[in-house]
């Protein structure tokens, strides 16, 4: 009898854990105030997958290549909340017209402790747009938001809105490259490769 009660108790605990975990799974566009600690904001409608791929463009003599991937269960910290989300992550290479690599994040291991991170924070399904946050380049220079809008199966439109930040020699050594190589523009078309 005790073995049977123990099995029932274990089964109930497992069922409650599964139900509890499912209750913590939320749709992609859940408002921040509605996301509890430890929740999982999941791409339930597969909205992110159509953006995955390698995209290229030329802008002011530079060739920019974006590598867009999807990361599931990405640990996220926002407004004093820790949770998980499905997100698009962008790494990139910027080359001059002569082929010199100006900046390359493709093989960087990025985390919340580094700069150069670009990851999605919101989608706007009504106009096929995904909003990204960008931590900026060295010393956080150029941090801001990037908007990618799906035009068709092979093209996306880029808009980068950097925010202002004061940089001084105490927070960013004078010898540091302070150039923002990503295109600060609107309606730049990238083509899927």
Q: Are 156 and 189 in contact, with CB atoms under 8 Å apart?
A: yes
Domains of the chain: total: 1
Query: Model's pTM, two decimal places?
Result: 0.82
Measure the CA–CA gap between 133 and 50, rounded to whole angstroms.
19
In this prediction, residue 106 carries a pLDDT of: 93
Q: Are 152 and 177 in contact, with CB atoms under 8 Å apart?
A: no
Percentage of the chain surpassing pLDDT 70?
85
**Two tokens, residue 64:** 């920019």
| Residues 117-148: tens digit of each pLDDT | 999 999 998 999 999 999 998 888 999 999 99
Shortest CA distance to 142 belongs to which of 172, 103, 186, 182? 182
What are the backbone dihedrals phi and psi of residue 78, each rounded to the nearest 5 degrees, phi first? Answer: -145, 135
Residue 28 DSSP SS3: coil
Distance, CA of 136 to chain centre: 13
Task: Quickly count: other Cβ atoms within 10 Å of residue 2's Cβ.
Answer: 6
**Domain span holding position 110:** 2-192
| Residues 39-87: tens digit of each pLDDT | 999 999 999 999 999 999 999 999 999 999 999 999 988 878 999 999 9
Task: Quickly count: other Cβ atoms within 10 Å of residue 5's Cβ.
Answer: 9
* CA-to-CA dists, residue 172 to 137, 138, 182, angstroms: 11, 8, 19
DSSP letter for 152, please: S
């Amino acid at each position: 009898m005790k073995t049977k009660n123990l099995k029932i108790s274990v089964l109930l605990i497992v069922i409650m854990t599964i139900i509890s975990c499912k209750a913590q799974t939320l749709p992609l566009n859940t408002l921040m105030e509605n996301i509890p600690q430890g929740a999982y904001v999941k791409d339930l409608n597969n909205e992110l997958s159509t953006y995955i791929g390698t995209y290229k463009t030329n802008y002011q003599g530079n060739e920019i290549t974006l590598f867009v991937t999807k990361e599931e269960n990405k640990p996220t910290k926002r407004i004093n909340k820790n949770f998980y989300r499905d997100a698009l992550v962008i790494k990139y290479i910027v080359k001059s017209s002569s082929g010199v690599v100006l900046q390359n994040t493709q093989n960087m291991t990025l985390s919340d402790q580094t700069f150069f991170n670009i990851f999605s924070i919101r989608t706007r399904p009504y106009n096929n747009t995904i909003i990204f946050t960008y931590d900026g380049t060295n010393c956080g220079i150029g941090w801001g938001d990037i908007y990618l809008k799906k035009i068709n199966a092979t093209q996306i439109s880029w808009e980068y809105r950097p925010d202002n930040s004061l940089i001084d020699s105490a927070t960013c050594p004078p010898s540091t490259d302070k150039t923002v190589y990503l295109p600060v523009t609107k309606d730049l078309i990238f083509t899927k490769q």
